[in-house]
Structure 1
Amino acid sequence: MATRGLYYTPPGTDGSEHTFRQRVATHYQTSAQNKSRLKYCIFFHYLLFFAMLAKLSADILDKLDIFILEIEELSIPKPLWWEYIWCISLLLSFFGLDAIKKNRIIPMRNYVIGLTIFGLAPLLYAIIYYFPDVWKYLTIEDEEQLEEVHMWQGYPYGLLWYAFIILALQVHSFSMYSALKLVSAWKAKGTKKYD
């Protein structure tokens, strides 16, 4: 076939037909974007879980009657009940990952509900529980008041927990946001939308 020159463009292929091209529906774009975001959030949730597991390791080893001198020398404070309940929230990530794989709404809703109960509720309890200790540390005027604050390895214990809580709240809130966006995108999948 002969062409009419080096830069010949056949009619109808010059880009003017863009209004007739097929586009990816917005709910598919939203779904793909939020699936990726939720996977990242779950990954960071795993990292936070391993940090919590390191903190709980002394208590777990004590209950199993295993003595490791290096861990005992750290004198890690005894865990509170909310720390173990928060660890349950990691199991919910399997609901979220399963829902992502199959685009299923009900497991994703279960993930959001479970994350609220086992992820956010223990963190809110911890914020309230450690608030007096953190407030004392932040408003100290002399060194004698520092003795009233619970310290671990030279750092205020409540403030260390607040650092963990802030990270965990961010991960959980982003996870819930992405999960709810996925639910709405998957609901819209059945309806026809034209832009």
Structure 2
Amino acid sequence: MASRDGPMVAGTDGSDFIHRETVATHYQISALNKGRLRKCVFSHLLLALLMVVKMVPDFLDRLDIFILEIEELEVPQPLKWEYVWLMGSLASFLGLTAIRKNRVILLQIYFGLINLLSTVPILLAAMIYFKEFFEYCTEDEPQGLQLWQGYPVSVLWYSFIVIAMQVHIFTLIFAWKLILAWKNRGMAKKVQ
């Protein structure tokens, strides 16, 4: 292997590198998007951890466990979309398995589950809290807003919704790119 500034092979000026082997495009796309999708999955799991912390009072109530410090926080009762969204975060483990094993079918199932159990509940939450959020943003002295610790609940939820929606959109984009790259890999094998 020659160094950059070392001696050059006789009869070449160094511009004949085009004929050399390169990494196939679908492998480059796969490697790039696997890393990106992994980051999105872990971001989704961090958001799920945040949701679990928010739902701890409800879990304790269902188990009939009373802890005064947690009860004093007066956390609002979770809605059904929160449970569905939390179930959707379990699909992240399917996505990680698909990435590790390069399985198109598992990634397609993961893509569908993220769409159904994560993106749809977040859109539903945006619709549920839109009226209060809009009222808070447009009126000088909004009346009748649900508050938690002095903060409007709709504003807190919209902060979560914006972050979660970005994570889900990027997850879907990177998963789709991986599905296409892995399917093209199979087509290239069939052509040969």
Answering whether residue 149 of structure 2 is matched by residue 153 of structure 1, we say yes
Answering whether residue 48 of structure 2 is matched by residue 49 of structure 1, we say yes
Does the C-alpha gap of structure 1 residues 121 and 12 become closer, same or farther in structure 2, counting only changes over 3 Å? farther
Does the CA contact (< 8 Å) of 2:8 and 2:14 recur in 1?
A: no
Give deviations 1:155-179, integer Å, cap 9, x for gaps.
1101100000110000011111000
Q: Cα offset for 1:10?
A: 2.4
CA root-mean-square deviation: 1.7
Matches within 5 A, 1:171-182: 171-182=167-178
TM-score by length of 2: 0.91
Q: Cα offset for 1:39?
A: 0.4
Distance 1:161 1:137 in 2: 13
Instruction: State the partner residue of 1:94.
Output: 93
Distance 1:103 1:174 in 2: 19
**Aligned partner of residue 65 in structure 1, secondary structure:** coil
Distance 1:141 1:7 in 2: 72
Does the C-alpha gap of structure 1 residues 127 and 70 become closer, same or farther in structure 2, counting only changes over 3 Å? same
Does the C-alpha gap of structure 1 residues 94 and 9 become closer, same or farther in structure 2, counting only changes over 3 Å? same
Answering whether residue 164 of structure 2 is matched by residue 168 of structure 1, we say yes
Distance 1:17 1:192 in 2: 27
Instruction: State the partner residue of 2:32.
Output: 33
Higher mean displacement: 55-64 or 131-140: 131-140
Gaps of 5+ in 1: 1-5
Counterpart amino acid of 1:135?
Answer: F
Give deviations 1:130-155, integer Å, cap 9, x for gaps.
1111112112233xx43x11111111
Does the C-alpha gap of structure 1 residues 165 and 9 become closer, same or farther in structure 2, counting only changes over 3 Å? same
Does the CA contact (< 8 Å) of 2:55 and 2:78 recur in 1?
A: yes
Distance 2:11 2:52 in 1: 63
**Aligned partner of residue 139 in structure 2, secondary structure:** coil
Q: % of aligned pairs identical?
A: 48
Q: Cα offset for 1:191?
A: 3.7
Does the C-alpha gap of structure 1 residues 61 and 9 become closer, same or farther in structure 2, counting only changes over 3 Å? same
Instruction: State the partner residue of 1:79.
Output: 78
Q: Cα offset for 1:16?
A: 3.0
TM-score by length of 1: 0.89
Instruction: State the partner residue of 1:113.
Output: 112
Give deviations 1:81-100, integer Å, cap 9, x for gaps.
00010001111112211111
Instruction: State the partner residue of 1:3.
Output: none
Gaps of 5+ in 2: none
Distance 1:7 1:83 in 2: 63
